């Protein structure tokens, strides 16, 4: 695909992308977060009516290796929906939605990325607790490492979510579900220090706020990704997974290798579906070996 020569025509499809996104239905909708890559694909075309199945395949092959399986599935679904939309609108003579390949998500094919307990402690130890930012980040990392919270759950924590008398934390999880979790001593101490010494006065009820003006809650989970990545860099650790989720995976892995059951891990991580926890079974190498039977000898001896 050679970009540039017909830029006006490719730009003309911007409104169509928005129109398709506006029809956000299972039949032909395109969710807004995926519009960027759909637009990226069409901005590289010479003439929309000359797009071929090979153009689609080339684009997918370039993009998929840079994404998680789930993300790749969302992108291909968006392309499929938009091609179907163009076909229904008469912009294409052939329904190219049928040419968009499917992306397999073999959930149990990839071992989770994790840190050892010693490495987790190294990450925690990189926070400069002589500074306000360091104490805040230390409290954040402890919530991720000790309770396995998701980044979005830490971001959305409210001051009223901490029950100091009961030693509990209200976690606002996925699907608007709320869970109460015990507050470990070291996590409680780190939160107390941050709230008493460092959290600046501001209108927001969020626990964690920006240390520089404007004083507000974090914009989103990506802020925690940055905090975790900086801590990993300081610890000279470079795991394949470098976001907040690496600490969640690490907690589950440590529990599994300490003898915790899948049910116990699922309860701590608040998995609603037991199959979500199955991915960690791949890490129990010793347990898996006990399930492997010796291969029978060639001679069939007993």
Residues 3 and 40 sit within 8 Å (Cβ to Cβ): no
Taking the C-alpha atoms of residue 184 and residue 157, their distance in angstroms, rounded to an integer, is 16
Q: Which of 136, 199, 245, 270 is catalytic?
A: 245
Tokens coding 127: 């926070």
- For helices 69-89 and 13-22, the axis angle rounded to 10 degrees is 110
Q: Which of 150, 199, 249, 270 is catalytic?
A: 150
Alpha-carbon torsion (230, 236, 240, 241), positive or negative = negative
Tokens coding 185: 């001593």
Cβ neighbours for 74, distance < 8 A, ≥ 6 positions apart: 31, 33, 34
248 annotated active-site: yes
280 annotated active-site: yes
Reduce the secondary structure of 96-151 to three states and give it as a string. HHHHCCCCCCCCCCCCCCCCCHHHHHHHHHCCCCCCHHHHHHHHHHHHHHHHCCCH
- Pinpoint the alpha helices (H) of the chain: 7-11, 13-22, 35-43, 53-63, 69-89, 117-125, 132-147, 151-155, 185-197, 222-234, 245-257, 262-269, 274-277, 285-291
Q: Which of 80, 146, 199, 248 is catalytic?
A: 248
150 annotated active-site: yes
Alpha-carbon torsion (258, 259, 262, 266), positive or negative = negative
Q: Which of 215, 257, 271, 282 is catalytic?
A: 271
Q: Given the structure tokens 């050892």, which residue do they identify?
A: 116
Q: Which long-range contacts (CB under 8 A, 24 or more apart) does 283-288 make?
A: 283/111, 283/112, 283/114, 283/253, 283/256, 283/257, 284/256, 284/257
Q: Which of 174, 180, 205, 230 is catalytic?
A: 174
Q: Which of 114, 138, 194, 280 is catalytic?
A: 280
194 annotated active-site: no
Active site residues: 150, 174, 245, 248, 271, 280
């Amino acid at each position: 695909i050679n970009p540039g020569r017909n830029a006006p025509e490719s730009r003309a499809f911007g409104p169509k992308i928005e129109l398709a996104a506006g029809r956000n239905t299972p039949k032909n909708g395109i969710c807004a977060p995926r519009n960027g890559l759909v637009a990226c694909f069409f901005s590289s075309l010479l003439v929309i009516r000359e797009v071929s199945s090979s153009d689609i395949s080339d684009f997918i092959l370039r993009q998929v290796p840079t994404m998680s399986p789930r993300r790749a599935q969302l992108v291909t679904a968006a392309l499929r929906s938009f091609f179907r939309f163009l076909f229904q609108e008469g912009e294409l003579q052939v329904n190219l939605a049928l040419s968009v390949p499917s992306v397999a998500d073999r959930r149990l094919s990839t071992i989770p990325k994790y840190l050892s307990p010693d490495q987790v402690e190294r990450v925690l130890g990189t926070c400069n607790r002589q500074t306000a930012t360091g104490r805040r980040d230390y409290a954040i990392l402890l919530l991720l490492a000790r309770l396995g919270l998701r980044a979005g759950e830490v971001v959305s924590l409210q001051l009223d979510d901490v029950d100091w008398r009961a030693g509990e934390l209200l976690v606002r999880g996925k699907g608007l579900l709320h869970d109460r979790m015990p507050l470990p001593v070291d996590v409680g101490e780190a939160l107390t220090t941050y709230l008493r010494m460092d959290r600046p006065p501001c209108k927001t009820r969020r626990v964690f706020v920006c240390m520089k003006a404007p004083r507000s809650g974090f914009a989103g989970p990506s802020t925690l990704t940055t905090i975790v990545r900086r801590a990993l860099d300081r610890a000279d650790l470079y795991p394949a997974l470098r976001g907040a989720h690496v600490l969640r995976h690490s907690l589950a892995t440590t529990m599994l290798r300490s003898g915790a059951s899948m049910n116990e891990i699922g309860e701590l991580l608040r998995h609603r579906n037991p199959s979500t926890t199955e991915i960690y079974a791949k890490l129990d190498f010793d347990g898996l070996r006990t399930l492997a039977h010796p291969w029978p000898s060639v001679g069939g001896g007993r």
